[in-house]
Amino acid sequence: MKHNFWKVKASILFAGIFIVGLLGCASLKPVPTAELQVIPDKTVLSPALIKKAVQFKGSGFAANEMVVVDLVPGPGVTIKGADEGENVGLAFATADEKGNFTAKMSPISTLNWFFQVGWTKNMKPDFKQAKPLKPGKYEILATGMDSGVIGKATLEFLTPPKKKK
C-alpha cells in the first residue's frame, strides 16, 4: 500500500516535470538571426547627425515585415523617458520582398535619444536640458515584428577631438 502511494506520488511529480519541461523547451528555442549594418558605425555625436542621420541596413528578415531598430543602453546609461535598462527605438522600416530593409533616424529620434534634449512648449528642442549619450560602444538591435528575427550591430560614439587652443 505504502509502495503504491509512493508510486502515485512519483507519477504526479514526473508528470509535472514533463509538462514544465515541454513548455520551458519551447521558450529556449534559438531566435533566428539576421544581418545588420549601422552607417556610420563610428561617429562623433554632433548636431550634424540631425541632418545627416545615422542609417541602418539589414537582411534576413521576413518579407514585408516591419523592422524596429533599438539602442541597448549599457550599464549605467540613463535614457530620458525610459526605464533603466530598457531598449529604446531609434528607427523603423518595412522590409522588402527579399527581407532587406533600410531605415534612417528621424530628427526627433536623434534629438530624443542621442542628444536627449528637453522640449519647449512651442515644440522646439531645448538643448539646455540635453544630456547627450557619452562616448562609447552601444549595441544596436533590429527586430522583425512578425518573425522575431534579430540582427545585431554596434554604434560607437567617438570622443570629440580636443579643440586647438
Binding site for another protein (CB under 8 A): 4, 7-8, 11-12, 14-16, 19-20, 23, 66, 68-70, 80-82, 86-92, 105-106, 108-109, 112-113, 118-119, 121-124, 143, 145
Q: At closest approach, how far in Å is the CB of 165 from another protein?
A: 38
Q: At closest approach, how far in Å is the CB of 23 from another protein?
A: 8
The residue among 60 and 105 lying less far from another protein, judged by its C-beta, is 105
DSSP state of 29: S
* CA gap 165, 153 in Å, rounded: 37
* CA gap 160, 20 in Å, rounded: 52
Q: At closest approach, how far in Å is the CB of 27 from another protein?
A: 11
* CA gap 165, 163 in Å, rounded: 6
The residue among 60 and 111 lying less far from another protein, judged by its C-beta, is 111
Of 63, 54, 74, the C-alpha closest to 135 is: 74
The residue among 60 and 112 lying less far from another protein, judged by its C-beta, is 112
Q: At closest approach, how far in Å is the CB of 143 from another protein?
A: 6
Q: At closest approach, how far in Å is the CB of 15 from another protein?
A: 4
The residue among 45 and 88 lying less far from another protein, judged by its C-beta, is 88
Q: How many CB atoms are closer than 10 A to CB 61?
A: 30
Beta carbons within 8 Å of 36's beta carbon, 6+ residues apart: 56, 57, 58, 69, 140, 141, 142, 151, 152, 153
* CA gap 77, 73 in Å, rounded: 6
The residue among 36 and 90 lying less far from another protein, judged by its C-beta, is 90
